[in-house]
Amino acid sequence: MMKKIATLLTIAIFSNWQLAAQEPSPYLGRPLQITHIGHAFGGDIEMPHGLDYQYLLSTAEGVEFDYNGLPFSKGEMTKMKCDNPTVRFNLSFRPAVLPNTVVMFSLLGIEGRIDEVRYEASPGDPRGWEYLEVSATNQETALEAALLRRFVAGKTFRFYTGIGLNAGLSYNGEVRVKGYLQDDAITDVPANGNDVDLTYQQKPSLNQRLFVQAGVGIRFFKHMEFGLESRRGIGSRATFDGPFHMTILKRSIGFSLRYSFL
């Protein structure tokens, strides 16, 4: 679905490019003037506060075992991963009363978000070697708005800085549990262990973010603009019939291609 939207949007960009070269912009003199249309691809690192196996398992449906009693502590966490591949489809406006300001609206898609943690028994632990790996994957669709100040540097460079927010729904999620757990390890000799490999559906969640944004655009072919954009911020993740956690948007990087009407 997202690929079809990207194809249609690309066709629209170049169609508008050709039309704009033949006739004056029809938006001049209106309260809001369209400035850009385009898309951006990138990735986010967004971490729920207090991310651990208990949090991830609490977002799963139908977990029957007591995961609060698993024999792993925070100090035994050896891996943490929080990756969000992103695609944005943008439409930007310039208020007539604020000629150096851009209001950007985006449809945000996150395909293949993954939150993952791994634990391993400490070397020499009397219970023997054990490990636990819990990962959650899902998709998200969100609406985003940003208010950006625009600075022009000659004919080539455009700089942007401002604030924004978005809200979206996560869905089609899975929580997977893998590991090797000892039945009863009370000496230096491991007891017979159990391999664990379980998969659960993940409950949907509502996500919100507030962020600061900065970027640079490089103009070419008169109306085309290639850009680099960055975001950092905070947010929240509310799981339906599950936990509510604050989140930290540690880093969001994207590369954009837009058609400019200016």
- Measured CA to CA, the distance from residue 241 to residue 28 in angstroms comes to 49
**Confidence bin at 126 (pLDDT 50/70/90):** low
pLDDT at residue 190, as a whole number = 42
**Confidence bin at 1 (pLDDT 50/70/90):** low
Please give the average per-residue pLDDT across 32-54, as a whole number.
93
**Which residues does 93 contact at the CB level (< 8 Å), separation at least 6?**
32, 33, 34, 35, 102, 103, 104, 105
- Measured CA to CA, the distance from residue 206 to residue 245 in angstroms comes to 11
Please give the average per-residue pLDDT across 80-88, as a whole number.
95
Does the pLDDT value for residue 203 go beyond 80? yes
pLDDT, tens only, 89-108: 999 999 988 889 999 999 99
The domain limits of the chain are 2-260
**Which residues does 225 contact at the CB level (< 8 Å), separation at least 6?**
36, 38, 158, 217, 218, 219, 256, 257, 258, 259, 260
Residue 46, Cα to own-chain centre: how many angstroms? 7
Residue 153, Cβ neighbours under 10 Å: how many?
A: 9
Please give the average per-residue pLDDT across 172-199, as a whole number.
70
What tokens does 191 get? 């007891």
- Measured CA to CA, the distance from residue 104 to residue 94 in angstroms comes to 9
Cα distances (Å, whole numbers) of residue 126 to 62, 182, 190, 218: 32, 11, 8, 60
- Asked if residue 142 lies in contact with residue 207, where contact means CB atoms within 8 angstroms, the answer is yes
pLDDT, tens only, 206-216: 999 999 999 99
